[in-house]
Homo-oligomer: A and B are copies of this chain.
């Protein structure tokens, strides 16, 4: 049976009625206030009562096959939609989403984790209730380590305020938060009147003024400025501000790997990804010879910097994120990046145009794709062909390893989104992320690139695509093992090999979807066109690669690493 993910609104009026709300009811109301439409998860006995409330609310429950998949789906939903929710039972559910939630923390994706828990009234004399690990605080203490805040709704007087605090923190800092809901508190109606006060985070106007003046004075002296745009620009919705500033100043823009698609890659000012020795050498050179680097919303991670092969002199950088603003070696406190961008543009500084050499921009170097139908498919040719298929409504999701490295060579369009856990790099993200992305954007064409090792971790989550009638296109890049590890740790190690599955037959198990086996360029052409037309079901393209076939990006990285040894 196929269910629909469309939000239903018949219950909205019931929710909006100004009757006194229970703790569970208030939590649902606040999620709706933030525009959340879907909750991902798996029920369990300590959260069944709240699940009943969820299913009766305007929120749509999306049942996944595993909790960690629900966590990845909620993370992808948050990246596309602005806020995601995963709801699970105590410990067996909660501790199964640790890795997904840690990834959301590391990459600033605002995911609300709601966990059921034993009732407060059941805890007298610390009994051994099932699912308990050490004591009733254990799960909360674990999530304190991997969330921005963790609250326990164990007190009717504090519960509403704690819900507000948790949700506001997620939205403000774009980090996951944890809300523990004991099962006997779900229907409790507090006897206190609660009014929601939004906590505003304001910029210090004097610090802002000084920082802007210093920046503009420096820009006026520069000859080769460059902007490096990072993922926070997307998370906080500052794309328009950034683009307006760059277009006014006429400064070229590079993006980090994690920030790929922050601006459309066909923009005339866009020059490509900056990723040190992993990236295209001409981009690396153009960035590193700059006399003023505006790093905006970027994480300075090892992978974003090509495993620290990037060569950026802090003395030439303005490094602005949601958490700090650093100009060369001094810091400004209390300057919100969005306000910084606004103020820079408002002052209408003179443009600092920097010409972009021929052949630097990614689109310029492309030649027409000439299909060689009988040629064995290679990763490079697959990416080149796929690149020509992307349109404005595509969301590309890349899993980890060479799926990611290869996918960085795709050119995203006007409204294309590129999603990948490119810093935390947890394998198995892509397929569950398709579910989350399609719940958020049902009309989008979602294409996932996924290694075989990653697919074996979470690929059966395609079951959820069948259940809800979603039609992602999943491209399984099968090289029979953990390809990136073969490059990083050469040798004939059995542990880098995995069993080869007949992935194209998975639709037969799931009772839905269509599988394609791809060995040649002609196979890929036919499968891709067929899959692109098919909006009725998921498509799985099983691409059999030579185990020694690596993307140019991974090849460059390997060459660089081997030089280090």
Binding site for B on A (CB under 8 A): 1, 3, 43-45, 48-49, 51-52, 54-55, 61, 63, 65-66, 68, 91-92, 95-96, 98-99, 102-103, 105-106, 127-134, 138, 141-142, 145-146, 299-304, 308, 423-428, 456-458, 460, 463-464, 466-467, 482, 484-485, 488-489, 491, 493-503, 505-506, 508-511
Contact = CB atoms under 8 A, between A and B. Distances in A.
Given A99-B96, A424-B131, A463 B467 contact: no
Given A128-B304, A505-B508, 9 more contacts: A43-B495, A48-B485, A51-B489, A63-B494, A66-B458, A91-B102, A98-B142, A127-B300, A508-B509
A45 B424 contact: no
Nearest to A96: B99
A149 to B, nearest CB: 13
Contacts of A303: 130
A61 B138 CA distance: 31
Contacts of A484: 45
29 contacts: A1-B499, A43-B482, A43-B485, A43-B495, A45-B485, A48-B485, A51-B489, A51-B493, A52-B493, A66-B458, A68-B68, A91-B99, A91-B102, A92-B425, A95-B99, A102-B138, A106-B132, A128-B301, A128-B302, A129-B302, A130-B424, A131-B426, A134-B145, A142-B142, A456-B463, A464-B499, A505-B505, A506-B509, A509-B509
A370 to B, nearest CB: 35
A16 B508 CA distance: 51
Contacts of A494: 3, 55, 61, 63
A463 B105 CA distance: 32
Contacts of A98: 95-96, 98-99, 142
Q: Tell me which of A65, A127, A304, A491 has the highest count of chain B C-beta atoms within 10 A of its own C-beta.
A: A65
Contact of A426 (B92, B146, B458): B92
A184 to B, nearest CB: 14
Contacts of A464: 499
A460 B63 CA distance: 19
Contacts of A141: 145
Contacts of A49: 489
A44 B146 CA distance: 21
Nearest to A460: B460
Contacts of A466: 499
A403 B110 CA distance: 37
B127 A302 contact: yes
A499 B511 contact: yes
B132 A142 contact: no
Nearest to A118: B302
A466 B427 CA distance: 22
A426 B90 CA distance: 10
A102 B133 contact: yes
Contacts of A91: 99, 102, 424
Contact of A142 (B1, B146, B509): B146
Contacts of A495: 43, 51, 54-55, 61, 63
A342 to B, nearest CB: 27
Nearest to A400: B92
Nearest to A457: B66
Q: Tell me which of A458, A460, A509 has the highest count of chain B C-beta atoms within 10 A of its own C-beta.
A: A509
Contact of A502 (B65, B128, B496, B508): B508
Given A48-B489, A98-B95, A511-B501, A299 B43 contact: no
A494 B4 CA distance: 12
